[in-house]
Copies of this chain bind each other. A is one copy, B any other.
Amino acid sequence: MAVYTDVQDEALRAYLADYDLGELVAFRGIAEGVENSNYALKTTKGDWILTLYEKRVEPAELPYFLGLMRHLAGRGLACPEPVAGRDGQALRELAGRPAAICTFLPGVWPRRVRPEHCAPLGTALAELHLAGMDFAGSRPNTLGPAGWRPLLEACRDSGDEVRPGLIAELDATLAGILAQWPAPGTLPVGQIHADLFPDNVFFLDGPQGRPRVSGIIDFYFACSDLLAYDVAVCLNAWCFEPDFSFNATKARAVLAAYVARRPMSAQERAALPVLCRGAAIRFLLTRLFDWTHTPPGALVTRKDPLDYLRRLRFFAGIEGDSALGL
């Protein structure tokens, strides 16, 4: 379910009158996405995506997200580019919500990740990081290490209902992660996507039928943090099989393509195992929070937090970066 706010057709027409996008041709809700309401919008000038920002997005942070997308698109990255209205403003209001129109990106996200997706992903991630280097904005990672302990506290009372002993295991694991976390200034920092899951990356067939990245979407967790942490998110999101076994071929492909475009320092490589544990506990904790705080009848798909316990335990056994495929 990805349409939370419905848009009256008169309101839509009035909204579009503020743009130079031609006449309205079609308007359909998009099923993908869980945080915001997304509509596929077709006008006589082309295809666009209209997004209404829902409660989980902080309005004050929207200028950062939209500014980053504009910056990255201007650097040639295939990401949604916010479209300004006639007054030059991209961030507007529709149906009582902050709203924006962005360019439509072609492609299909991979329902099942194949090894051939992984090198293009690694290249695209490195290009995203490089393109963001001269972006002037910044945003703290609200779901980074400083946010994990409060999330765990919020799950303390009911977390063991999901699995007996879960909270004690997470207490110990989180303490270990935070103790090993890279000190400020030791690793390169920049604008990271922070949520680069397969459903946020579109592919099309390139030469010889090999997949190429045609679009990276959903920058609404983007923030300023360790670049290598974004790599760790991808290793979590792209390199585990449905049975939770770690596919080192995929990991090697992501990493090799990434470092070919943006070389990683020895410190970054050495930090990868703890960054992977951090990324695993981040998704585990937000899923656990949603799981324990969502009323049973609510119209959202709750994702199983224990999927990330499996990943967390795998990464807990890794010491060097060699086992990750580098």
Interface of A with B (CB < 8 Å)?
Answer: 1-3, 6-10, 12, 23-32, 40, 42, 47, 104-112, 202-205, 296-297, 299, 301
Contacts and interface: CB of A to CB of B under 8 A. Distances in A.
A278 to B, nearest CB: 29
Contacts of A296: 296-297
Given A8-B112, A9-B109, A31-B31, 7 more contacts: A8-B111, A10-B112, A24-B205, A26-B104, A26-B202, A27-B108, A299-B301
Contacts of A105: 26
A30 B26 CA distance: 13
A217 to B, nearest CB: 11
5 contacts: A8-B112, A10-B112, A28-B40, A29-B30, A42-B47
A108 B203 CA distance: 29
Given A9-B111, A40-B40, A301-B299, A30 B31 contact: yes
Contact of A28 (B30, B111, B204): B30
Nearest to A297: B296
B31 A108 contact: no
Contacts of A112: 8-10
A29 B31 contact: yes
Contacts of A28: 30-32, 40
A201 to B, nearest CB: 12
A8 B25 CA distance: 29
A205 B29 contact: no
Contacts of A9: 108-112, 203
- Of A3, A8, A9, A204, most buried by chain B (CB within 10 Å of CB) is A9
Contact of A111 (B7, B104, B108, B111): B7
Contacts of A203: 9
Nearest to A114: B10
A2 B31 contact: yes
Contact of A3 (B8, B27, B31, B107): B31
A222 to B, nearest CB: 22
Given A29-B32, A30-B31, A204 B24 contact: yes
A104 B42 CA distance: 12
Contacts of A47: 42
B297 A26 contact: no
A209 to B, nearest CB: 9
Contact of A299 (B7, B30, B108, B299): B299
Contacts of A106: 25-26, 42
A41 to B, nearest CB: 10
Contacts of A23: 205
A178 to B, nearest CB: 35
Nearest to A6: B111
Contacts of A40: 28, 30, 40
Contact of A108 (B12, B108, B204): B12
